[in-house]
Amino acid sequence: MMIARLQLSERMPTDQIELSTNYFTSYRFPSELLADLQLLRKSLDEIGAQFIIEEDIDVAIRLCKVFGFHLATLDIRQNSAFHEKAIEQVLAALGEKDREFSKWPEDKRVAFLSENLNSPERRLLQNAKLEDEAENAIRTFSVVARHIRRYGTWGVGALILSMTRSLSDLLGVYFLAREGGLLEADEEGRTVCPLPVTPLLETVGDLENGARIMREFLAHPVTKASLEWQRRIEIPETDVPIQQVMIGYSDSNKDRG
């Protein structure tokens, strides 16, 4: 039975991702395999099969605890300028009159994005016609969202935004992720992102403004709710949420040394 479930886990077709877990016989999470291994170990121990336990079962249990179903996590990375263009294309698809997002002042950008993030539900129609950047960004988030619904967040790292310049750049990640179906509501109805959004500060100016950018980002309600949700799921043994920040070295080193 365990061998059959492992084989199903490897070849489960992606078009069945939306099915209820009641229909699955494959393993979704490492904890499910671990529970079966521990049950098998208990049964073998009751009949005195210590050699099999030590040579096979305990080894498999250790591997499952250490690695789960993956050896490394995959980060999802994109540039802020790419996202900016994608947001403008989404605004066009939504029929917004003022769609030149790149020319908006920061306070208008933050206000618009914050208002839209009050709900995790996407605004775009399922068959909405999108230009290249918006299509690329939203399809990426859709693939990640399907993976998470099927396997959880294990195996997926952070949503990294290179050339982060402002709070609105980071909120733009949430906005596009929402249109890709990645955002959800927690038990209190707050909008949360299951994956951490990580700024990559690269230029000298952005590094100098980094503290302000992070204060604003960490104070935003979506970030606060998301970090708490991620802490409970990923690191329940700690009471302190963790926010990752990446510091670029190539541009800043070239400009300032």
How far apart are the C-alpha atoms of 77 and 73, rounded to whole Å? Answer: 13
Chain segment 205-225, per-residue pLDDT in tens: 999 999 999 999 999 999 999
Given a contact cutoff of 8 angstroms between Cβ atoms, the answer to whether 170 and 109 are in contact is no
pLDDT above 70 (res 122): yes
Given a contact cutoff of 8 angstroms between Cβ atoms, the answer to whether 117 and 178 are in contact is yes
pLDDT recorded at residue 95: 93
Chain segment 165-210, per-residue pLDDT in tens: 999 999 999 999 999 999 999 999 999 999 999 999 999 999 999 9
Stated as kind and residue range, the H or E segment containing 6 is helix 2-11
pLDDT above 60 (res 31): yes
